[in-house]
């Protein structure tokens, strides 16, 4: 099992930011997909949380996505 993390920042809460973090983490492990994702989002993502989680799950090619939104 390989584990990696990534942190990205932007001005708008877009799912593409979370997908970019996933891509960076996958690149660090050399994997093409993940078996699970731990995703932490800022409060700015509250209105787009479901869209972001779905986009990350699709990009990771897995259905095990857990995490939270900061308060």
The confidence score (pLDDT) of residue 15 equals 96
Q: Which two tokens stand for residue 12?
A: 């708008």
Query: Treating both helix axes as pointing N-terminal to C-terminal, what angle do 49-60 and 15-29 enclose, rounded to 10 degrees?
Result: 30
> What would the pLDDT profile of 28-64 be if each residue is shown by its tens digit?
999 999 999 999 999 999 999 999 999 999 999 999 9
- Statement: the pTM of the whole predicted model exceeds 0.85: yes
Q: Which H/E stretch holds residue 38?
A: strand 37-41
> What would the pLDDT profile of 6-30 be if each residue is shown by its tens digit?
999 999 999 999 999 999 999 999 9
């Amino acid at each position: 099992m390989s584990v990696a993390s990534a942190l990205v920042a932007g001005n708008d809460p877009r799912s593409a930011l979370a997908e970019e973090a996933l891509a960076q983490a996958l690149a660090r492990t050399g994997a093409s997909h993940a078996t699970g994702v731990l995703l932490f989002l800022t409060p700015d993502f509250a209105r787009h949380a479901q869209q972001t989680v779905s986009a990350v799950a699709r990009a990771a090619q897995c259905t095990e996505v857990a995490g939270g939104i900061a308060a």
